Structure 1
């Protein structure tokens, strides 16, 4: 069985288990599955769902005018916020972007 087929099968099984209202032991006995295997796939599915976002996803940023009418750039990543005011140091901005790409 291919990896995608196996993942799809276990996704269906986990959904059936959750909808059944049975304990893991009862559901496994009725469906001929070991509880060890069910718990393995539950952990695997939960870890995949809570995995961090892919670094290739786009991030939102706003360009606003500062109080002295100088342009500024604000980059927000999670709870972090980076504000860059004019004059723009392009090398510094590229360095910041490289660090963000490696961390996000």
Structure 2
């Protein structure tokens, strides 16, 4: 199986996972997939999608979309388990993208 074939299979699987509304653990148990493998491909495809140009023909998925108004808004706070991230109005967009792609 070629790398592109494997990538296409995992793009499809991750789409199925996201549309299932199941937890990663539940989806993996149902589909006989190791949770570490699912997480690997979610990270890999999210990073690849960010680094591939739009004219390359890669049809991946969008991890997140953010729209920020130029009008005043209070700092944005993201919280996931024990990690808290506050984003001020004058945030460094490049740094944020690097942090989210790790």
After TM superposition, the score normalised by the length of structure 2 is: 0.50
User: Using CA pairs below 8 Å that are at least 6 residues apart, which structure has the higher relative contact order?
Assistant: 2
Structure ID, larger Rg: 1
After TM superposition, the score normalised by the length of structure 1 is: 0.49
User: Higher strand share goes to which structure?
Assistant: 1
